[in-house]
Structure 1
Amino acid sequence: MSTHDNTSHDLEVRDGHTAVDRFEDPGHPEHKPRLGDLDPKANKKAERQVLFLFGISVLGTIGFVIAYFALPPGETPESMRTSNLALGGALAFALLGIGTGAIHWAKALMNDHEKSEERHLQASDAETREAAVNALKDGADDSGISRRGALKGAVVTAVALFPVTIALPLIGNIGEDWDVSKLKHTMWKKGTKLARDPSGRPIKASDVTIGQVFHVIPEDLEEAEHPLDEKAKAVVLLVRLDPRDIKSEQGEGWSYDGIIAFSKICTHVGCPVALYEQQTHHLLCPCHQSTFDVADGARVVFGPAKRPLPQLPITVDAEGYLIAQSDFLEPVGPSFWEREK
């Protein structure tokens, strides 16, 4: 088979087959009018639906304000859960109403004719810029916002009120304690006994066998002014290894007879690191799979975390109870905290 003249026929032979080198632009498909384009009642119904959706957003914002004052977080897990659910649910309705209302408006009420323009150089002449401005005006006319006062009022109200959900928590914290240095220290200090979580019972070195894992809190945690806040910073995972398996520590003499303790707070985003693999001595964070080697100073062996888990220096007292030698000597939690050693 011979090759056709591409100039005249736009055809060529490729791999023994005749192929079209270029196609004519088929143009836009035939426009199919929507029900609202043909039936004024359907158009009015769509308008009411958009009003309803923006109304949901307004109610969601109002509900957020009410929940913020009526359901404070409090100090118990139950009160915190209730507050978070109420605030989160109200915020979801506030955002959902705006989003679905805008989408439904665009799909049901705005002009839906497909249009295309040729691509030109970015620098346009004055005539083209004037045409662009006119196109924007035509788009505003297509949206019907100037003719539909109720819709305009609904969208303006919903969008204007929504920032309250962001500003209110910030305003509400004016006058609160902004001393962030408190977040850089924990309850651990020299002589503080290591206790089981959640019972608070002190742990003796003799209670811990090789391969055993303990979730640990300071013994005097309940005496703190804000126990839950302090626990969130001070939680520790304690493991006993065969001393011969310990490759390195973060400080000399920070473990006791193979018993070693590290912060449970992942250095990536602060999730609890609590999955211990006895054969490899690896600790796994369930949130993003950061993996730490307990036998090697809790260094990162996999995942997005950028630094090892801080080690808590421990020893034993005269009665054989495990005690802290000091607080952590580096910040716990995500790596953006800074503290002098």
Structure 2
Amino acid sequence: MSGANDLAVLEKDLLAEIAGAGDLASLDAVRVSALGKKGRVSELMSKLGSLPPEERKNFGQTVNTLKTKVSDALDARKAVLETAALDERLKTERADVTLPVRLGPVAEGRIHPVSQVLDEVVEIFADMGFSVAEGPDIETDEMNFDKLNIPAEHPARQDHDTFYFAPKPDGSRLLLRTHTSPVQIRTMVAQKPPIRIIAPGRVYRMDSDQTHTPMFHQVEGLVIDESTHMGHLKWVLQEFCKAFFEVDEVKMRFRASHFPFTEPSMEVDIGAEAIGKPGQWLEILGCGMVHPNVLRNCGLDPEKYQGFAFGVGLDRLTMLKYGIPDLRSFFSGDLKWLSHYGFSMLDVPTLGGGLST
């Protein structure tokens, strides 16, 4: 097919097929049969090489004109069919404008309970005048143990309890901090009293069961000045517990204990009435007056300065307040668990508005 009459017939047939296409699928089939790699118009272009030079130019222009007409007809018919398809969808699909708006990422996203509790703790202590101090997760023996008056033979310094890195050429070893107490040491070394800080962060110990994990979260507090005494410590802890558990009164019990970095040292229990379980005691934290050796190790005169320190597990506080039974779930990455126990990112805890409302 190379004559003008044949091209006119082909054009008429193709335009008729395009006009007769009843849907987009049929129209696409016409497009492939006409302009595809083996389509009828494309085959005409392949004949150009076999034509005499004097005919090649006119034939090529004629075929290109045909190709343009077919393409334009395809585009026009496609627009008509798309409009018809949309009209058909609109007849069968309805949007109920009375339905509630779908929740977006801001409403669906959840803050991890530990992150929420950390914000609650910071809010409470900030109201008491404490600032937040931070330090590295990777520490030295000196900062993690020596300056805290922890002797070389202490069980916490053994390989079965602490994550150590490979020894350096000089024999010293870095480690993953076992508590946030090194932050207290760094603060006392860097600044002179008065000091009033809390030190939240991740800590690491070789322990794993329903209530222990190799990595967990702590917050420790430190107050150093010339007149702080045990009564101040008890008041701070009492006010913290009342604010955190959102109760008017809380029963507290201080039991004698031993920590190398405090003297005297105490374990603190609270009455379980704070979480709706009367008649029980809950151990929540350890505390005491800062040991004079720790003050000396930081360049402070224990004859002039004294203070107190305390430490509490954020994960344990979270479990107690929000009734979470298994600590391992905190680190499972289960979105269903997070959706149940997590907090809206808009629920910023404030003492005025309520920590957990």
- Coarse TM-score class (shorter-chain normalised): under 0.3
- Which one has more relative contact order, counting CA pairs under 8 Å at least 6 apart? 2
TM-score, length basis structure 1: 0.25
TM-score, length basis structure 2: 0.24
| Structure number having the greater strand percentage | 2
